[in-house]
A and B are shown apart, each in its own frame.
Chain A
């Protein structure tokens, strides 16, 4: 209710009321951007842009859905665009990656013993994640990082509950396959 009152105030010309909404959602939007983009600077710029876009489109927000769902939708679309641009620049071959990272992938599910190993593991995690399709990465982030329920994800992605469940299961299977693939390559 408080959110809707703030939105009304912004739409009536008190744009300073928008600062409250930014404060309330800053962490969630930043976290989503950081998870998807995996670059803090880029994520912060993206989050700024998302809040600005949301402000500009505030009049089109219909109160049928939660403000958070609407804001997530804007965030997801913005990050998706950025990732699409980035994926065009991806050059490293899967074979090369398998060759170099197989051993490390095998140990990935075991907590790293020292900071250097942790940094290497984090890098490998990002490389494996980058092998997922945009939609797979997106749905896993919404579920595992943001903790959204399937129903909420359906609202953000504008699809049915069954579609969310099917996509989520496929994305999990794909990630697991990649992990096994990497681990298997390390043993050869």
Chain B
């Protein structure tokens, strides 16, 4: 078998992910190839130094600490599906508000007169007419002012 091709599979062999004929092929190659064998041996030693660590101590105290924290917080949050959907709600509402403002029919410009006279009811009628107020109109205005 091609040496370069088998080198690609040496780590699959080391990881125990080859079975049957594929495994036997690599095994046979390793027996006859000191270079590949040295590679596996070196990695076995490296992994032993860098990654073989003692099993950490487990305890009921750890479990209790987690459960105590959960007791204070109670129920799990809603499913992510819901949260993902709700996440679209904020920009959607913003867009709707923006469209609402843009699509509003153009308002008539508000003049100073309209602002000043907008709330004066009948008292404005004489101002908007071209003629001068009659005596009765003047009397009506005076009476409104007293009330």
A-side interface residues, number (CB < 8 Å): 48
Given contacts A13-B75, A165-B12, contact A144 B47 (CB under 8 A): yes
Asked whether B58 lies within 8 Å of A19 as measured between CB atoms, the reply is no
- Most A-side CB within 10 Å, residue of B42, B50, B58, B79: B50
- Whether A19 pairs with B67 at a CB distance below 8 angstroms is yes
Q: Which of A19, A56, A143, A145 contacts B77 (CB 8 A)?
A: A56
Query: Known: A35-B53, A57-B80, A109-B46. Contact between A52 and B70, CB under 8 A?
Result: yes
Residues of B within 8 Å of A144, CB to CB, are 47, 50-51
State how many angstroms separate the Cβ of A184 from the closest Cβ of chain B.
Answer: 15
Which residues of A122-159 have CB atoms within 8 Å of chain B's CB atoms? 125, 128-129, 140-141, 143-145, 149-150
Q: Knowing A150-B17, A168-B11 are in contact, say whether A59-B76 is a contact too (CB < 8 A).
A: yes
For A23, the chain B residues whose CB sits under 8 A away are 58, 63
Judged by a CB distance under 8 angstroms, whether B112 is at the interface is: no
Q: When the two chains form their complex, are residues B56 and A109 in contact, meaning their CB atoms are under 8 A apart?
A: no
- Interface residue SS majority, chain A: helix
Instruction: Mark contacts of A34-77 with chain B using CB atoms, 8 A cut-off: 1 yes-contact digit, 0 otherwise.
Output: 11000010011001100110011111100000000000000000
* Contact present for B56 and A34 (CB under 8 Å): yes
A26 and B17 in contact (CB under 8 A), knowing A15-B74, A145-B53?
no
Q: Which of B51, B69, B75 has the most CB of A within 10 A?
A: B51
Tell me if A30 counts as interface (CB < 8 A to partner B): yes
* CB pair A125 B78 closer than 8 Å: no
CB-based contact B47/A19 at 8 Å: no
How far apart are the CA atoms of A51 and B69 in the complex, in Å? 10
Q: Is the interface of B mostly helix, strand, loop or mixed?
A: helix
Q: Which residues of A contact B70 (CB under 8 A)?
A: 15, 18, 52, 55
- B51 contacts A145, C-beta separation under 8 Å: yes
B65 at the A/B interface (Cβ < 8 Å)?
A: yes
| Interface residues as binary, A166-178 with B (CB distance below 8 Å gives 1, 0 otherwise) | 0011001001100
Q: Give complex CA distance A46, B70 in Å.
A: 15
Q: Determine the chain B residues whose CB is within 8 A of the CB of A27 once the complex forms.
A: 55-56, 58
User: Contact at B63–A26, with CB atoms within 8 Å?
Assistant: yes
Q: Does A96 contact B (CB under 8 A)?
A: no
Report A61 CB to chain B, min CB distance, Å: 9
CB-CB under 8 A for A30 and B58, given A109-B45, A125-B50, A140-B51: yes
Question: CB-CB < 8 A to B69: which residues of A?
Answer: 48, 52
Any A CB within 8 A of the CB of B102: no
A175 to B145, CA, bound (A): 94
Per-position binary interface string of chain B over residues 8-32, scored 1 when its CB falls under 8 Å from any chain A CB and 0 otherwise: 0001100101000000000000000
